[in-house]
Structure 1
Amino acid sequence: MTRSHISSRLFATAAVGALLLGFASSVTAKDAAKAPAPAADAAAGPEIGDFGLDMAGMDRGVKPGDDFYAYANGTWAKTTAIPADKSNYGMFTALADLSQQRTREILDAAKGNPDSMIGRAYASYLDGAGVEAKGLAPIEPWLNKVRAVDKAGLAALLAETDRNGISHFFGGYVGQDDKNPDVYIYTMYQGGIGMPDRDFYLKGGDRNTALQAAYLRHLENILTLAGEKDAAGRARALYDFEKRIAEVHWDKNDSGDATKVYNKMTIAQLAQAAPGFDWTTFIRGIGVKEDSLLVSQPSAFTGEAKLIAEAPIGVIRDALLVRSLDDFADVLPDAVAQEAFAFHGTALSGTPQMQERWKRAVDFVSDNMGEAVGKDYVAKYFPPETKAAMDGLVKNVLAALDERIGHLTWMQPETKVKAKRKLANFTTKIGYPDRWKDYSTLEIRADDLFGNALRANQFAHDDNISRLGGPIRRWEWGMTPMTVNAYANFGMNEIVFPAAILQPPFFDPKADAAINYGGIGAVIGHEISHHFDDQGAKYDETGKLSDWWTPADVAAFDAAGKALVAQYDAYEVLPGEHLDGTFTLGENIGDLAGLTIAYDAYKASLGGKAAPVIDGLTGDQRFFLGWAQVWRRNYREQNLSQRITTDPHSPSIQRAWVSRNLDPWYKAYQVKPGQKLYLAPKDRVRIW
């Protein structure tokens, strides 16, 4: 459920928004792992409860108007523990556990087959003893190359670093040109820091101070593991260097603005704007032959180039040594893997322990050869009737938005015509690709885990660069079928729903319609509405970044957006830590619009008839409960705090609360003035 934030791209495609839902049903991780495949038994009922809702997980002692999340999920929240290998637990993680277990079964069957690439990859990861026996020997040649680099050779080495999948001072990918979406272009974005956001370096407070100290220890420990002398002093110098980089970085709000980050320039213009670094050698070295680039944060590149030019070469080398071990930590000996986890998993997110090796092995194969596994996954776990039912739901939700656009009072008639045209031009992808990725040139060995990871990174890099000069790959997916997620791609004007999310509690063909519309229906609406949120609305029906709204439309939309920003700014998630309503605006618009149009689609599906009352709940009550129950999630405090800084999605409680802006919610639950979530009609935000 995210949209086009440059700083948090999930894959190398321009103007993409990913959903990142985060559900968790009333089932435990253990229960989820043994849940049956959808529709396995034609005579069976819904997988959850009698009609698709977990009644036992509610807390009827809470008034819906005081805390709708707690009313819908309070008992579940109190009785559900977060597994030791997770930073949070909810519906998304429950389904991710299920997907991981199912993928394991596929890989276990392939493991003994020497002709199976995924089997060899899986076996290489499971061979922990072999990894320990080799130590750092597999990565040592690369580390020695880093240790030997001088300023004259830095640009060429960074190009190799990029191809090897190691993060460094700036990143890049080939995606659609936002203003010419029929053409691919290389886009560059700021990098060079090891913590997730500049704010972790620049803001004070007890939590950030503790993280800064933990990160400094991590730098020292990684340099020690690399065999370097004076690790403490060098870690301090590296930390100070990264802090200076953080100071020139754009913040997350500017980095998420599609208009601000569209800066086309030639290599020569980049060199003029950011002197002190050999841009031609670097860009040609990564395989880009074209001369035009998109530079997302130009002033950050200017600042970083100056800092790189002025920094001692030893600090530059140390930065690359640390990134090399950090980025490959999971395929190196346990000492390195545990150290990386100690900071990135425990210090940042509060997760007590690493996942078992088989789980990490499954993720390794899925991350690097996902579609090779996906073919078997969908054949076994994604029945055609689920895809057909989902297709019908999507059409109903699209029709609901089309109808709503026609009745908008703030949008000008000429803009409505264009908005409807954009809606009619949508592509919907459900379940899995029509065309699978070809991995035949990727070399995988059963006894070479590090080599497999390195070659997989190089394969992905080369495949991405090969897009340049070619036709747009409209058949490509940015997520595997096993991914519990969804996304909106602005440049393709498409919405995409992988197979793994199309399961209870999001979607169950045998559940009550109100539950499905409140769950997957609102998710569909969310993804559709991303194309009309504060960033998606900047793209026309062809996927082009353009001004197709009138000034009056923009003014009305911005006013509604400001009201939503203020509403979310007021939420204090942790003591002294508020949401950033500007940063989360696109996702909050997605939730508000998605729930609104899903409600319309649900009512239309009744064909003018009254919904039945089930277990004392009206259709409208079940609809809103279907929405609230998919957002179940318990967080570790460190993880929740990190998300406030880095995640464009609001936490689950506040996502459930978006219902306070819908008039039918008030009627459904008799919400009255004086209750905590009550908003006067004039204060309810209405956009779509």
Structure 2
Amino acid sequence: MKKLLLGCSALVLLAACDPVTVTSTNSGETAATETTAMADIGTWGFDVDGMDANYHPGDDFFRYANGTWLDNTTIPEDRSNYGMFTALAIEAEQQVQEIILELASANAEAGSPQQQVGDLYASWMDTDTLNARGTQPLEPFFAEIRGASSHDDIAAMFASLHHPAPYGFGIIPDLADPTRYTVFLGQGGLGLPDRDYYLDEENEAFGRYREAYVAYIETIFDLAGIEGGAEKAAAIMELETRIAGVHWTQAESRDIQRIYNPMTLEQMDALAPALNLSAGMASMGLAEVPTFLVAQPSAIEGAATILTETPIELWQDYMIFHTINNNTARLPLAFDEASFDFFGRTLNGTPDQRPRDLRGVNLVGGQLGEVVGQVYVERHFPPSSKTDMEELVSNLTTAFEGRLNDLEWMDDETRANALRKLSTFEPRIGYPDNWRDYSALEVRADDLFGNMIRLAEFNWNDQVEDLMGPVDRTQWPYPPQTVNASYNPLMNQITFPAGILQAPFFDPNADAAINYGAIGAVIGHEIGHGFDDQGRRFDYDGSVNDWWSGETNARFEERAGRLGAQYDGYSPVEGMFVNGTFTMGENIGDLGGLQMAYTAYRNYVDENHGGEAPIIDGFTGDQRFFLAWAQVWRRLYREDNLISRLSTDPHSPSQYRTNGVVRNLDEWYEAFNVGADHALYLPPEERVKIW
């Protein structure tokens, strides 16, 4: 399915921080020592050696907690950044690799999951066949593109799974009624990560990227044996710059009130007649959909205008380039290497490409993720972890309920609606209840390109088949080995896969403060997405509904605005700043999540330690709680990757996910004796308290 450039889509909020679980409920200092004796990190769950005591916590808490690790850690040559998420992902990757190689070595029955896994991996590793076939697998697509004789022909090809287009589409639950499906349509068509890469004339890095992109386009044409690459590349860059000019910004594209634009096919045709969307959607089996969600109407309208004003020959060059560009990993190795040189080295600063076998592990683990995931869960996710996680989610929910009841800025009617929404949250932990059936999928060991085409069609046909039926709430957005967590506002579900439920996020043998400050705060973060600046637009049943009173809404907006202004002032790269509006949802999630987790932790301490946690290695329980949060966000970035993230990632860079959050919590000031003479100090009246 085509990639939609919806920014941080408010339709499915995926967070890079994830849930936390509880430790033993034994009480007393002796019990605390016993439960931390076998922690995966250090003796109680925190890497004390990675700290840098030369920094006062109040001047730079991120470096106080992580400074020695930051100074002594080198980003691997095949990585654009490196942190705790990366380390866990590498561990999960190694575990998945073992599973895939075992399945691939089995004498599997044709059509079985083992055969599919083994043959998909084999087709990826068979580079001799890729080199021998050249661009031959693309020739049918080239022929269709070259056969276009009118703009109508071009528009008809836009509405397909396999042809590039200045828009994208997909099937999701209906925002007005999330028990049924609808189709969304949104802006697309760019080769660079975002509109700013084309339009920002002041940032020198973007100018460098544009020059390199034009050179890359020319290289792709040269490798394909297509003449006139330099002229074609310049013209394609000019065309994409026009498309970028009608795109919405990332901040605009995450505003649910702006992107919620239901339209019939007739209305879509009236909006953008040149795109002939009614015929295009019918060709994809979508003619019976009563209303579509058009995320950025002016961008779709603009794309239609650009279509008619651009010569057919240029559209053909554009589509041929992007057809090759979208398939470089399935072509001779020279194409794959050229793609990495631009997208990896230039755009993200990564010196070396990852070994092909590991990229194959990620391909299989993504495309056939639940086949591999079933084995992963059996081997690496004990039932006790699921039980502990369920308890921690319950504790965080109770803590947030208490905070809602005490919230002084919320009126009673809005509070009742918020409590109702919280009561309907559905936590999903570890792995799905129902595993996906891939039996209808054909996978061949000698046909990587065909396998990927068939996978795309299999996934699309699966969605279309479900389109007219009720929404399946059991589906997961990713396989259980994923190191991530998410909140889906349309389902009011929070999802915590098995992959993230490991140290430093969750460790059943770590100190309770560590688990509450790490995975606990991630759980709070995901719960908080249901009440952030966009998630709060959804009701308890997942439908878009304004359940806020005017007065309470104004109070929320005032607090969120002050938080956004704080983040607007953070500059990790000279001349570039965090966009407080674009990152608002994640920043609210971080702040509210840590507040919820702290309340839950104090409830735990009151219940199990009589109000005061034991001191461990000279650190109080509250200090350990905040240190756990900082340890989770240990991360180093290459500058090009950081530039990309500032432009396209709704999450703030890691140092601000630490320092930017704790400086708003009174309890952090008390835990570390932070005063007005410290760099992170905010006067009490300037500290933002939302949830």
Same fold? TM cut 0.5: yes
8 Å CA contact 2:18–2:486 kept in 1: the answer is no
C-alpha distance in 2, partners of 1:676/1:301?
46
In structure 2, the residue matched to 1:18 is 14
Within-5 A mapping of 1:91-110: 91-110=84-103
1:555 partnered with 2:564? no
In structure 1, the residue matched to 2:154 is 154
1:62 partnered with 2:55? yes
In structure 2, the residue matched to 1:670 is 673
In structure 2, the residue matched to 1:445 is 444
1:232 Cα deviation from its structure 2 partner = 0.5
- The one-letter code sitting in structure 1 at the alignment partner of 2:679 is K
C-alpha distance in 1, partners of 2:440/2:491?
27
- Tell me the alpha carbon deviations over residues 108-150 of structure 1, each in whole angstroms, 9 at most, x when there is no partner: 1011234321111111112222222222222222222222223
8 Å CA contact 1:22–1:91 kept in 2: the answer is no
1:184 partnered with 2:181? yes
**Partner-residue secondary structure (3-state), 1:391:** helix
Within-5 A mapping of 1:276-287: 276-287=274-285
Of 302-311 and 278-287, deviating more is 278-287
- The one-letter code sitting in structure 1 at the alignment partner of 2:179 is D
1:659 partnered with 2:662? yes
Of 463-472 and 231-240, deviating more is 463-472
- The one-letter code sitting in structure 1 at the alignment partner of 2:234 is R
C-alpha distance in 2, partners of 1:22/1:385?
18
1:7 Cα deviation from its structure 2 partner = 2.8
**Partner-residue secondary structure (3-state), 1:7:** coil
C-alpha distance in 1, partners of 2:164/2:43?
49
- Tell me the alpha carbon deviations over residues 254-290 of structure 1, each in whole angstroms, 9 at most, x when there is no partner: 1110110011111111111112222122111122122
Give the 3 Å change call, closer, same or farther, for CA 475–641 of structure 1 in structure 2: same
1:43 Cα deviation from its structure 2 partner = 11
1:247 partnered with 2:245? yes
User: Of residues 186, 190, 215 in structure 2, which corresponds to 1:217?
Assistant: 215
1:470 Cα deviation from its structure 2 partner = 0.8
Give the 3 Å change call, closer, same or farther, for CA 338–21 of structure 1 in structure 2: farther
User: Of residues 189, 195, 199 in structure 1, which corresponds to 2:196?
Assistant: 199
In structure 2, the residue matched to 1:648 is 650
Within-5 A mapping of 1:417-566: 417-566=416-565
C-alpha distance in 1, partners of 2:37/2:59?
37
User: Of residues 663, 680, 684 in structure 1, which corresponds to 2:683?
Assistant: 680
In structure 2, the residue matched to 1:328 is 327
- Tell me the alpha carbon deviations over residues 637-686 of structure 1, each in whole angstroms, 9 at most, x when there is no partner: 00001111111100000001111100010011000112110001001000
1:8 Cα deviation from its structure 2 partner = 4.2
**Partner-residue secondary structure (3-state), 1:561:** helix
Give the 3 Å change call, closer, same or farther, for CA 22–136 of structure 1 in structure 2: farther
- Tell me the alpha carbon deviations over residues 210-233 of structure 1, each in whole angstroms, 9 at most, x when there is no partner: 011011111111122222211101
- The one-letter code sitting in structure 2 at the alignment partner of 1:156 is A
Of 573-582 and 131-140, deviating more is 131-140
In structure 1, the residue matched to 2:24 is none
8 Å CA contact 2:58–2:672 kept in 1: the answer is yes
- The one-letter code sitting in structure 1 at the alignment partner of 2:637 is Y
TM-score (norm 2): 0.94
In structure 1, the residue matched to 2:27 is none
Q: Which runs of 4+ in 1 moved over 4 A?
A: none
Aligned residues: 660
8 Å CA contact 2:18–2:523 kept in 1: the answer is no
User: Of residues 224, 231, 234 in structure 2, which corresponds to 1:233?
Assistant: 231
8 Å CA contact 1:560–1:687 kept in 2: the answer is yes
Within-5 A mapping of 1:305-454: 305-454=304-453
C-alpha distance in 2, partners of 1:170/1:187?
10
Q: Which runs of 5+ in 1 are unaligned?
A: 24-41
C-alpha distance in 2, partners of 1:351/1:459?
33
Give the 3 Å change call, closer, same or farther, for CA 190–46 of structure 1 in structure 2: same
1:288 partnered with 2:281? no
In structure 1, the residue matched to 2:67 is 74
Q: Which runs of 5+ in 2 are unaligned?
A: 20-34
8 Å CA contact 1:7–1:189 kept in 2: the answer is no
8 Å CA contact 1:22–1:90 kept in 2: the answer is no
TM-score (norm 1): 0.94
**Partner-residue secondary structure (3-state), 1:321:** helix
In structure 2, the residue matched to 1:633 is 635
1:22 Cα deviation from its structure 2 partner = 9.5
- The one-letter code sitting in structure 2 at the alignment partner of 1:455 is R
- Tell me the alpha carbon deviations over residues 24-52 of structure 1, each in whole angstroms, 9 at most, x when there is no partner: xxxxxxxxxxxxxxxxxx99711111000
C-alpha distance in 2, partners of 1:21/1:189?
27
Of 529-538 and 282-291, deviating more is 282-291
**Partner-residue secondary structure (3-state), 1:675:** coil
**Percent identity among equivalent residues?**
45
1:314 Cα deviation from its structure 2 partner = 1.5
C-alpha distance in 2, partners of 1:463/1:7?
26
Give the 3 Å change call, closer, same or farther, for CA 506–43 of structure 1 in structure 2: closer
In structure 1, the residue matched to 2:616 is 614
In structure 2, the residue matched to 1:35 is none
1:5 Cα deviation from its structure 2 partner = 9.2
RMSD over aligned Cα, in angstroms? Answer: 1.6
Give the 3 Å change call, closer, same or farther, for CA 291–225 of structure 1 in structure 2: farther
8 Å CA contact 1:99–1:482 kept in 2: the answer is yes
